[in-house]
Amino acid sequence: MLKTEIVDIINNLEEKTIQTRRKIHENPELEFEEFKTSELVCDRLDSIGVPYIKNVAKTGIVATVRGKSGGRTVALRADMDALPLIEKSGAKYASKINGKMHACGHDAHTAILLSVCEVFNKIKNEFCGNVKFIFQPAEEGVGGAEVMIKEGVLKDPDVSACLALHVDPNIEVGKITVRPGFVYASPDEFYITVKGKGGHCAEPHLCVDPITVAAEIVSAVKTTPKGKLGAIVGVTKIDGGTATNIIPDEVKLCGTARSTGFEERANLKNMIESKTEEICKKYGAHAEVNFVELFPPLINDEKIADIVRQAAEEELGAENVSSGEPTMAGEDFAYFAKELPSAIFKLGCGNVEKNIVYPLHSPMFNIDENCMKIGVRVFVNSALKLLEW
Ligand SMILES: [Zn+2]
Ligand SMILES: [Zn+2]
């Protein structure tokens, strides 16, 4: 009974979900500036009568649908920010803001979550517990998730599990992937300043050449490709020297250090520091190493991932659900997954026949909007299972 009722509600919301996404897509906003997007979310929540708290982490919103008393609280999260990019997709609802674009699908994430919220509000007399809807700013780069958690979004009522989705153009529409364990890497950065002793290039024996030292560090820290699951370390920028006849005093390097787990992350940090120190010692140079931890690695909880898999199989058929591949990109939902049992699943939005094949962060990126209803269905069924878990 409830099942068919939910299917009807979701079908009836499909057009609204698509139109909401297009409206957000036309008006992209960058991290912590999602004012209009935030207003759109609040307007929709007002219209359906779901209470919320706004201005969490500046532009974030937390809405809560309370079911019957007793039961746990499950949180679903969507990110809202766009990217600094000029859109070239040619879509009729393309960005109206020059230099800003929803090229990571966060417009779809927000529109899907609003519809999921509307579904739960309509069936609130039919489940026990609460569902929290977290509309998060600033996923790209600065980690709005961490700020929201610090501002208490996982408390009152206390959340016991979190879910998120990310659209993926590498997966055909109609399919999803969800895997236990490692899904996204920690996209950390490192900064090294090599300090030598500068002088005349004709007298290298009187100098400590930081360029030679830096060159050796570049090859020493770089990881050899070991397939998709290998850690990735690479220097991506070097800055030093002013002329052909001067040995400079110092050289600055920086790069990326991506790992697949917390232990691997600690090992990478150690490796970069110890190799740098070793090489400097050999040449009589000194170095300052600054390893900057950005998002944690995103590790899906095994049980939660399995519940999402079951829910998705019920909705889409087992043939359309697989474990997929992890990626060495970062995702700040990792902050939620670090706090509580959580899982993120990837929602197929690609369609070769419609030429929807461009990757995330491409100016040509688009989604097959048929994926949105699927996202709503998998979210709703997964959350219902988690409430009873
Ligand atoms: Zn992105
Ligand atoms: Zn994204």
Residue type, 384: L
Classify residue 152 as exposed, middle or buried by CB count within 10 Å of its CB (0-12, 13-18, 19+). exposed
Which ligand has the shortest distance to the CA of 103?
1
Q: Where are the domains of the chain?
A: 2-183+297-388, 186-292
Spacing, Cα 284 to ligand 1 middle (Å) = 42
Spacing, Cα 353 to ligand 2 middle (Å) = 24
Q: Which CATH number fits domain 186-292: 3.30.200.20, 3.40.50.10490, 3.30.70.360, 3.40.50.2300?
A: 3.30.70.360
Contact 240, 248 (CB under 8 A): yes
Spacing, Cα 178 to ligand 2 middle (Å) = 16
Spacing, Cα 102 to ligand 1 middle (Å) = 9
What is the C-alpha separation between 125 and 309, in angstroms, rounded?
26
Which ligand has the shortest distance to the CA of 167?
2
Instruction: Say if residue 226's pLDDT is above 80.
Output: no
Tell whether domain 2-183+297-388 is in CATH 3.40.630.10: yes
Cis before 157 (ω within 30):
yes
Is residue 163 very low, low, confident or very high in pLDDT (cuts 50, 70, 90)?
very high
Spacing, Cα 86 to ligand 2 middle (Å) = 17
The radius of gyration computed from the CA coordinates of the chain, to the nearest angstrom, equals 24
Mean pLDDT of 181-185: 96
Spacing, Cα 105 to ligand 1 middle (Å) = 8
Instruction: Say if residue 11's pLDDT is above 70.
Output: yes
Spacing, Cα 104 to ligand 1 middle (Å) = 5
What is the C-alpha separation between 261 and 267, in angstroms, rounded?
10
Spacing, Cα 104 to ligand 2 middle (Å) = 5
∠ CA 217-218-220, nearest 5°, is: 60
Is residue 223 very low, low, confident or very high in pLDDT (cuts 50, 70, 90)?
confident
Spacing, Cα 360 to ligand 1 middle (Å) = 7
pTM over 0.85: yes
